[in-house]
Amino acid sequence: MYIVTGGAGFIGSAMIWKLNQMGIDDILVVDNLASTDKWKNLVNLKYSDYLHKDQFLKFMAEGEDPFGTQAVIHMGACSSTTELDADYLMENNLRYTQVLCRFVLKNSVRFLNASSAATYGGGEKGFCDNHDGLENLKPLNMYGYSKHLFDLWANRAGILDRIACLKFFNVFGPNEYHKGDMMSVICKAHKQIGQTGAMRLFKSYRAEFPNGGQMRDFVYIKDCVDILWWLLENPQVNGVFNVGTGIARTWNDLARAVFAAMGKTPDIGYIEMPEAIRDKYQYMTQADMGKLRAAGYTAELTSLEDAARDYVTGYLDKDDPYLDSREG
């Protein structure tokens, strides 16, 4: 049994898709569907059962494994970078993950955990995933801090050689449609360009970055789940790892890639950035991928242009844009 927490969410459902591609459907989906549209991400996928996250947590807290678990792929978390309820983030992102971690270690189960590039804050300390630099990082928002606290806890407990924590950078791709304001800019741009023929980006408030010249490491969801699968197949590879492309691209590059994928002439304008996020805004992120490469991961990562083309033409332009277990 493979357990995927946050299994109806973006990365979680994409990982179920990947497992299906590899012939695996003995999967327990753990999530909190409530009244969201996340359930739509599961319709085209194959899995054995579903549990609400609170019910699953009770099993984990008891310490015994009633599922015959082979791996826990923990993608479940509140991923909103604007969430203000710090207590909620502490319980949902930190304490929950600690309980799961204790369970997998007790039962010798493979554990892949979603951390985040938000742990790097403004990037003043760089974007290197070496363990000895964890203590120096200063996240800019509570979400990033909640993820950072688990990385610190695992490091101080001396267990990072037994689990894998993945610092995802700017992930985009199919099955993110339920995320509202937290959807990728590519997903938002497809709709905006389709409706207006134009795309609007935030202005820059730092002289060294022109408008639209702010930079991100944009990584395609299919590359992310390929990395997760590789880690499942290589359980000896553990620690904190960046998941990005290693190449920072500008928002203008992203906009032009979407226009090209849609077969339209670029029309890019710039709007004021909300004051509430100006002092928490990352102007540049770029994953240092050397550690994962040194561990043996050799697959080529998809370029922004190729990924945008696949996402737009293969999914966003379709009536049913969701990942389908029959693909591949």
Q: Is residue 101 part of a domain?
A: yes
- Joined together, the tokens standing for residue 249 give 């691209």
Q: Is residue 20 part of a domain?
A: yes
Q: What is the pLDDT of residue 328?
A: 60
Helix (H/G/I), strand (E/B), else coil: 72 = strand
Angstrom CA distances, 158 to 121, 152, 163, 265, 271, stand at 24, 10, 10, 53, 46
Angstrom CA distances, 272 to 51, 200, 201, 250, stand at 43, 10, 9, 17
User: How many domains is the chain partitioned into structurally?
Assistant: 1
Which ranges in 157-244 belong to alpha helices (H)?
Answer: 185-196, 221-233
Q: Is residue 318 part of a domain?
A: no
Q: Is residue 204 part of a domain?
A: no
Q: Is residue 262 part of a domain?
A: no
Q: How far apart are CA 100 and CA 253, in angstroms?
A: 39
Q: What is the pLDDT of residue 168?
A: 97
Matching residue, tokens 């997903």:
187
Q: Is residue 309 part of a domain?
A: no
Q: What is the pLDDT of residues 278-299, one digit of tens each?
A: 888 889 999 999 999 999 999 9
- Positions of the chain with pLDDT under 50: none
Q: Is residue 234 part of a domain?
A: yes
94: containing domain: 2-173+218-246+287-301
Instruction: Give the residue from 218, 223, 225, 224 showing the smallest Cα distance to 189.
Output: 218
Q: What is the pLDDT of residues 43-76, one digit of tens each?
A: 999 999 999 999 999 998 888 899 999 999 999 9
Do 13 and 43 meet the contact criterion of CB atoms below 8 Å apart? Answer: no
Q: Is residue 306 part of a domain?
A: no
Q: What is the pLDDT of residue 307?
A: 98
Q: How many CB atoms are located within 10 Å of the residue 158 CB?
A: 8
Which CATH number covers residue 165?
Answer: 3.40.50.720
Task: List active site positions.
Answer: 143, 179
